[in-house]
A and B are shown apart, each in its own frame.
Chain A
Amino acid sequence: MQNRAATVAMIAILIGVGACSTKKKVLPPTPPPAGAPLGSGSATAATPSGTDSGTVGTRAVPGSLADFRATSGSDTVLFGYDSYDVDDTAKAILGKQAEWLARYPSVKVTVEGHTDERGTREYNLALGDRRASAAKNFLAAQGVAPARLQTISYGKERPVADGSDESAYAQNRRAVTVIVSGAR
């Protein structure tokens, strides 16, 4: 699997040499890993999904966004109601994110903080900042240079799940690590 991924990457790079400005366009489209919070937005979004994501990850270019998601298990960690505690599940994901970021030191990320809808607008902006900061601080404690880490809070403005039930609330209380530059 490792070899195949490397081959895909090599082909991508070789093509890229001939057409630098369009490098991104000639990369094969990478399906989102199972752990990504897109699509169905299942409640297991933040759970490292082991071999499943590994299988998908073989198509990810090392150093790419897809590779980041696959290697880390998820770009998203979840929080309890009105909480910004980074729990063990979140620590495992953030730890893998930090390892990946250590391998690709040119990558810069923004950690987005989000809340569920059960709070007032302005308080939730502040709560989203708490969550983004908590995730950022954990990454920094794992050795990621603070200069590579930014935060932004969206409060309750950008839910991933549109319901008004516990399942939706749980998915929406999250911090998402978004690569802003330096990825392949």
Chain B
Amino acid sequence: MRILSLLLLAVAAPTAAVIRVDINSGTASPLPIAVPAFPATADAATAAGTTTALGSQVAAVIAADLGSSGLFRPVDAVATVVSADVIAPRFDVWRASTAQALVTGNVTANPDGGITVGCYAYDVVSTEELARQGFVTTAANWRRAAHKCADLVYSRLTGETGYFDSRIVYVSETGPKTKRIKRLAVMDQDGANHRFLTNGQNLVLTPRFAPNQQTLTYMSFADNRPRVWLYTIGTGRQEAIGDSGNMSFAPRFSPDGTRLVYSISQNGTTDIYRMEIASRSVTRLTHGPGISTSPSYSPDGSRIVFESDRGGGQQIYTMNADGSGQQRISFGEGRSGTPVWSPRGDLIAFTRLTTGKFRIGVMKPDGSGERLLTNAYQDEGPTWSPNGRVVLFFRTAAGRTGKVDLHSVDLSGANERTIKTPLDASDPAWSPLLP
């Protein structure tokens, strides 16, 4: 559901902010920020609780979002905010705390049953207003309004687009390693609103979002015919489309959502193909030798990064979107696979394989500037936050349990976090920012 955003009246034209968060500094000096409970303009009942209760919950979600980035450090509120304070904060009180920035706002029940969340950010030291915006949505959708507010603050203070109002699709796992049951599941980026999409009857792998966030592409072993499927989230409709009689897998959407790139295996050889989704017409992009798979489009749709073992072991290659100009870009130690182009276009995340260990790394699209961000038994399958600043991946533990869960790491490699899921989790894919 779309969230209506509105400019609140009497916006002070924001001048150059005194405080600014350096996104490249990792967790070295996260900005202390206060996010006290948002007051209700008038306490009123909504379908999701009272506006007073929602005000506390909204503030908690915003604080958690900002804190999870590693760029902000939420600090305890030193004062209770009342309605009158929202547009005229008591800066003297806040200056007495460690907070350098203040996020506040209010929650209003609308006559149609919806809510408006007002969101304001201030520089505590200079008393300057940094941002203000209102978000109108259904009461049930209050978390999204909170994420939108967190994105506004993040964006204003870092100069980058936010990523908190987004979702994650992944594969939920249960059962012994030899008989894993796998189900598609979707949740908000902070783990809320978790929902299973498939029932576990069929083995499913590698779900990925379409740019519209409403369609997924994934691989299913339904009917013992492993191939590419589409899933429509709203209706639950599932449709096999990789129907060539051979295994098709590793699907991803083009940035405009009209095409898929994926692999087909035929008699031991695996190549990359492109499908026009509307017409189902298929074009072959690679012609061996060996295995070419895990294709991912550049954000402008002009290039594709993929992996191939044509030169011996798995390495990363790029090509033009029509298959021309194929060239190897990874030359580091060991093997490299599962490349994914950042939505910013500036980096490619990948999995590095060395002597039984997998690590997550990033490199520039020409293969230079390689950096490894993680170090564990098996870290695999990176996916980018919508702003290209955080990489999500899955981590498998060695041994009989096969314990596997989701982790995120920022580009500094310093802010690594576990993403909580109800069961084991693998194959994450991050959505674009929601509209």
Contacts and interface: CB of A to CB of B under 8 A. Distances in A.
Interface string B232-273: 000000000000000101100000000000010101101000
A117 B268 CA distance: 19
Contacts of B249: 122, 125
**B180, B250, B265 — most chain A CB neighbours (10 Å):** B265
Contacts of B180: 157-158
A162 interface: yes
Interface residues of B, number: 45
Given A118-B356, A123-B307, A133-B268, A164 B398 contact: yes
B297 interface: no
A120 B398 contact: no
Contacts of A126: 263, 265, 270, 291, 293
A130 interface: yes
A163 interface: yes
B224 A152 contact: yes
A152 B226 CA distance: 8
Interface residues of A, number: 29
A160 B247 CA distance: 22
A153 B247 CA distance: 8
B337 A162 contact: no
**B291, B307, B381 — most chain A CB neighbours (10 Å):** B291
A117 B337 contact: no
Contact of A164 (B247, B265, B399): B399
A160 B338 contact: no
Contacts of A123: 291, 293-294, 307, 309, 314, 337-338
Interface in A87-145: 110, 117-123, 125-127, 129-130, 133-134, 137
A151 B82 CA distance: 68
B51 interface: no
Given A125-B249, A157-B203, A158-B178, A134 B268 contact: yes
A159 interface: yes
Contact of A129 (B224, B247, B307, B338): B247
Given A125-B249, A157-B180, A117 B396 contact: yes
A121 B265 contact: no
Contact of B178 (A82, A118, A133, A162): A162
B195 interface: no
Contacts of B247: 125, 129, 152-153
Contacts of B250: 122, 125
Given A120-B338, A121-B427, A127 B398 contact: no
B431 interface: no
**B180, B205, B226, B377 — most chain A CB neighbours (10 Å):** B226
Interface of B: 176-180, 182, 203, 205-206, 219, 221, 224, 226, 247, 249-250, 263, 265, 267-268, 270, 291, 293-294, 307, 309, 313-314, 337-338, 351, 353, 356, 358, 377-378, 380-381, 396, 398-400, 402, 426-427
Q: Which 10 A-B pairs have the closest CB atoms?
A: A133-B268, A164-B398, A129-B265, A126-B270, A162-B177, A126-B291, A130-B268, A122-B250, A120-B337, A162-B400
